[in-house]
A and B are shown apart, each in its own frame.
Chain A
Amino acid sequence: MNSDTHLDGNSIGSLLQDLFGREMTDQRACCDACGAINPLATARVYVDAPGHVVRCAICGTVVLVAVTVPTGVRISFQALRWVELAP
């Protein structure tokens, strides 16, 4: 969890687009642990082969995990209270 090595939500733009079928990095999400509401682009992303761990930028709680398995990419929703889809 070295603060110099993490990325941010911009780096999972394509993963989120695969998941939601649209651009998502500028959409707001709410952390279930601390209630912070921020664009997904601002989340901290830790690249931990073979996957990505997405943490709330405010409290550090894991909100989303994406792991590549032989059958595809498995996305597990963790402390993500909601995601907004602006028109």
Chain B
Amino acid sequence: MERTALRGRLTWLEAEVVQLVQETARVKTIVFRVPGWTGHLPGQHVDIRLTAEDGYQAQRSYSIANANNNEHVALTVEAVENGEVSPYLVDELVAGDRIELRGPIGGYFVWEPSLGGPLQLIAGGSGLVPLMAMIRSQMSYASPVRTNLVASARSWEELIYRDELEKLSRERDDFDVVYTLTRSQPHGWNGYGRRIDKDLLAASTFAVEEAPLIFVCGPTGFVETAAAIMLELGHQPGGIKTERFGPSGG
């Protein structure tokens, strides 16, 4: 996508649901076809707008999960308990439904080829979504930059994209993933089983000498913790980009 596509006003587009994928018990990927979509960069998000019959509107941000692909925009949404918008998207939408969406939004929390690598990604919960777009984009390039992901989830069952991540880490030398499961671990688990801390990130991320480009995304508390640790480990503030999704589901 051209840099110039980041200019100009955003208009609401009609998006049609073309596919639904159950990722975990509470999370679905919703693939939309969006006529008029101008393409996107990994890391960008969209605004979704729902309008009730009485005219009441609710608007929320959702990261784009897929690499740029014509008119297709994939969102991965976690149904937040008692949420106004997310349970509707996850539980009610069916193929053929139409909703309003605008984007792509964002120029800071994005990866572009000019930024180079290596790429250090740190994800908490659904914060994995925009980072997955970066991974998927990298893996589609002829010369990807080395990419390392630290993914924190409550349990193996609640880890989104786990089959795809497993497959990529098996098949690619240029991609590594480290998991930490904070609430419960499968029998015989030999990965991490605690919240991220300095030892964990020091042992499982690129060293300061490699000058990685660092993207951290997830619940606000997770992002604050991870970013502070990466600074403490000696990474440059300008090399750490963060995106906060809001309160944690717990």
Q: Which residues of A contact B (CB under 8 A)?
A: 3-11, 13-14, 17-18, 21-26, 39-42, 47
Contacts and interface: CB of A to CB of B under 8 A. Distances in A.
Given A4-B248, A23-B6, A42-B242, A10 B109 contact: yes
A41 B219 CA distance: 16
Contacts of A41: 106, 108-109, 241, 243
Given A14-B47, A17-B9, A7 B246 contact: yes
Contacts of A3: 220-221, 224
Interface of B: 6-10, 45, 47, 61, 102-103, 105-109, 219-221, 224, 241-248
A6 B244 contact: yes
B9 A7 contact: no
The 8 closest A-B pairs by CB, nearest first: A41-B108, A23-B6, A26-B108, A23-B107, A13-B105, A25-B108, A26-B107, A4-B221
A7 to B, nearest CB: 5
Contacts, number: 71
Given A18-B10, A39-B108, 6 more contacts: A6-B244, A7-B245, A9-B108, A14-B103, A22-B6, A26-B107
B107 A21 contact: no
A8 B106 CA distance: 12
Contacts of B244: 6-8, 10-11
Nearest to A87: B3
A52 to B, nearest CB: 12
Contacts of B241: 41
Contacts of B224: 3
B9 A25 contact: no
Contacts of B47: 14
A5 B108 contact: no
